[in-house]
Structure 1
Amino acid sequence: MDKIRIIFVVLFLSVIFSHAEGGCSGNGQISGIPIQSCYERQSSFYMGIQAGDGMFFIDPGKSVQYGGKTYWLRFFVTSASRAYNQIQALAQTGYATRSPVEIIYPNYATTTVTNANAGLNDANCSTNTDNAGNAAYMYCPIQALSILE
């Protein structure tokens, strides 16, 4: 029975420590993170491309609170971005090698948040709703992406 408890504790701690780390720098208090930006360090994530416009996105599997609603966080880079190919290649490399990545994005708590249905831009996070009007995604543009190992 003690062995089973130890196994559960190890598995629980592995999930906690391997998933994600993050923070925001509203006034530049986190070294290396631009003012009014946040970062997420992810060891596991999902990624995809939207068929209609070619937008590349990364889903960290994390929800965030904004305006009293819960949204799923989604990082993106539009196909019109000059860094589109590089960000996509780095994310795919991190995914393929199972290396953690660090994503820097605008701090939605201190910057303007726009309506994703009106279009996305490379400066602001945007929210959208599902067909029933429920909170769906908080889209945040990728300002920088690094492979950590």
Structure 2
Amino acid sequence: MGKIRLILAFLFSVAVFSHAEGGCSGPGQNPGIPTQSCYEILSSFYMGIQSADGMFFIDTDKDVQYNNKTYKLRFFVTATSSSYNQIQALAQTGYATRSRIEVIYPNYAETTVTNATALNNTNCSTNTDNAGNAAYMYCPIQALSILE
């Protein structure tokens, strides 16, 4: 019976620590993260490249609230960004090795949020689906690290 409890305790701790975790910068918080930025640590994510303009993106399972609407959080880097190749290579390596990654991005609660028709490397942006429902909160990747 003791071994079963030990196994269950281990499985519970793995389940607790396997979800995405994150936070945002503030006075005296999260040293190493730029002011007005947030971070997410992801153990599971999806990647893609937008065919029209080559934008590389990372989809998460995280929902965010903004202006009383719920958006799916999507990180991106534009093809014109100087860090495009590095971020794409790190994300693909993290995915291939099943490692957790840390993404640093602007805090949409403290910075200007624009419309997703004009994505830039500074601000988060929102868009809607064809029915007008909230779809994605696009946030540019400021930095990406492989953690394991």
TM-score above 0.5: yes
Give 2:46's aligned residue: 46
Deviations 1:81-122 (A, max 9, x none): 1110110000000000011110000000000000102x1000
Taking a change above 3 Å as real, the CA distance of residues 67 and 146 of structure 1, as seen in their structure-2 partners, is: same
Give 1:144's aligned residue: 143
- For the 8 Å contact 1:28–1:35, the answer to whether it is kept is no
Q: Distance in 2 between matches of 1:108 and 1:79?
A: 22
Q: Distance in 2 between matches of 1:44 and 1:14?
A: 14
Aligned letter for 1:123?
Answer: T
Taking a change above 3 Å as real, the CA distance of residues 105 and 28 of structure 1, as seen in their structure-2 partners, is: farther
- Count matched residues: 147
CA RMSD, Structure 1 to Structure 2 (Å): 2.0
Taking a change above 3 Å as real, the CA distance of residues 145 and 28 of structure 1, as seen in their structure-2 partners, is: farther
Contiguous gaps of at least 5 residues in structure 1: none
Give 2:34's aligned residue: 34
Deviations 1:13-44 (A, max 9, x none): 43331121100014452111110000001111
Task: List structure 1 segments (4+ residues) > 6 angstroms apart after TM superposition.
Answer: 3-9
Q: Secondary structure at the match of 1:94?
A: helix
Give the 5 Å matches for 1:123-138: 123-138=122-137
Contiguous gaps of at least 5 residues in structure 2: none
TM-score under structure 2 length normalisation: 0.91
TM-score under structure 1 length normalisation: 0.90
Deviations 1:52-100 (A, max 9, x none): 1110000111100000000000000000111101100000000000111
